């Protein structure tokens, strides 16, 4: 793996990524948010604007929306290299693609390109850190029996099927099999989900400061249709932002 962090005199930092998993995570965020891609190629001063329809790591390809301007589309298919620039939440993302190929995607014209071998992101450090802290503060609000106010629990691990939460050791106690129906999963930067959970297991431990903590493993039940998509989007955001911020240290 090759990576580098460069600071310039404007206070911006540039991150170079060449791990495929990191690149795919960022491309998936661009796709989920339909971030416009500005594409340039040699010999053409006019950029083409499109967005990502799908990212297929198994085939190592990226599907782009076909351009309505046939002249620009022909230019992309004939050029040997395509230079791409996009802006996602104040981060400038740049990468180079090989020649595009025409195809049909879900019955509609599209362009196929290979996953780029590397990617750079440039951002202002103070803005980036604020966004990262917001994204990582996932919370599960649960309402135990005989309580009026919901109890916020820090989410420390999450997937489409469930999550792990941590609380102070004396705050909550649930037996395995306990079902809680009035919960809200707060995914900062994505949204809030009404959700039901089943407690699968619990464990007590001490943190690095010697404080008593309790962790619960939870399975999601009766999830709304939008849950999988929202959780996946949140996970991809976290993965991509962690990939970038790890290059800052």
Q: Is residue 103 part of a domain?
A: yes
Give pTM, 2 decimals. 0.52
Domain count, the chain: 2
Q: Among residues 132, 161, 190, which one ends one of the domains?
A: 132
In Å, what is the CA distance from 183 to each residue of 49, 88, 112, 191, 198?
A: 41, 31, 42, 14, 11
Q: Contact 145/182 with Cβ under 8 angstroms? A: no
Using one digit for the tens of pLDDT, what is the confidence trace for 225-242? 778 888 888 877 776 665
Q: Among residues 107, 132, 157, which one ends one of the domains?
A: 132
Q: What are residue 134's DSSP bridge partners?
A: none
Q: Are residues 143 and 232 in the same domain?
A: yes
Q: Is residue 68 part of a domain?
A: yes
CATH number, domain containing residue 111: 2.30.110.10
Q: What is the domain extent for residue 121? A: 4-132
Q: Are residues 73 and 23 in the same domain?
A: yes
Q: Are residues 8 and 128 in the same domain?
A: yes
Q: Is residue 217 part of a domain?
A: yes
Q: What are residue 41's DSSP bridge partners?
A: 44
Q: Contact 62/35 with Cβ under 8 angstroms? A: no
> Which structure tokens are listed for 189?
């930067």
Residues 6+ positions from 18 with CB-CB distance below 8 Å: 1, 2, 3, 117, 118, 119
Q: Are residues 124 and 166 in the same domain?
A: no
Using one digit for the tens of pLDDT, what is the confidence trace for 32-86? 878 889 888 876 666 788 889 999 988 899 999 887 776 677 878 888 889 999 8
Phi-psi region of 74 (alpha: psi -120 to 50; beta: other; left: phi over 0): alpha
Residue 210 DSSP code: S
Q: Are residues 111 and 165 in the same domain?
A: no
């Amino acid at each position: 793996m090759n990576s580098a962090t460069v600071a310039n005199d404007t206070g911006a930092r540039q991150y170079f990524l060449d791990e495929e998993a990191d690149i795919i995570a960022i491309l998936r965020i661009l796709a989920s948010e339909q971030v416009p891609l500005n594409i340039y190629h040699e010999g053409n001063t006019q950029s083409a604007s499109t967005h990502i329809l799908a990212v297929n790591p198994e085939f190592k390809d990226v599907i782009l929306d076909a351009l309505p301007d046939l002249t620009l589309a022909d230019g992309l298919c004939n050029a040997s290299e395509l230079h791409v620039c996009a802006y996602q939440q104040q981060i400038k993302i740049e990468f180079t693609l090989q020649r595009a190929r025409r195809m049909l995607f879900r019955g509609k014209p599209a362009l196929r390109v290979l996953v780029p071998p590397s990617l750079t992101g440039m951002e202002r450090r103070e803005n980036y850190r604020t966004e990262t802290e917001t994204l990582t503060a996932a919370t599960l609000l649960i309402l135990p029996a005989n309580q009026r106010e919901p109890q916020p629990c820090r989410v420390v691990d999450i997937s489409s099927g469930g999550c792990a939460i941590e609380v102070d050791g004396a705050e909550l106690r649930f037996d395995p099999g306990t079902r809680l129906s009035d919960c809200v999963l707060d995914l900062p930067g994505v949204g809030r989900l009404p959700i039901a959970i089943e407690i699968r297991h619990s464990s007590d431990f001490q943190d690095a400061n010697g404080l008593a903590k309790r962790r619960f493993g939870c399975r999601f039940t009766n999830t709304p249709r939008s849950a999988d998509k929202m959780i996946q989007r949140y996970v991809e955001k976290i993965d991509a932002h962690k990939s970038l911020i790890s290059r800052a240290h």
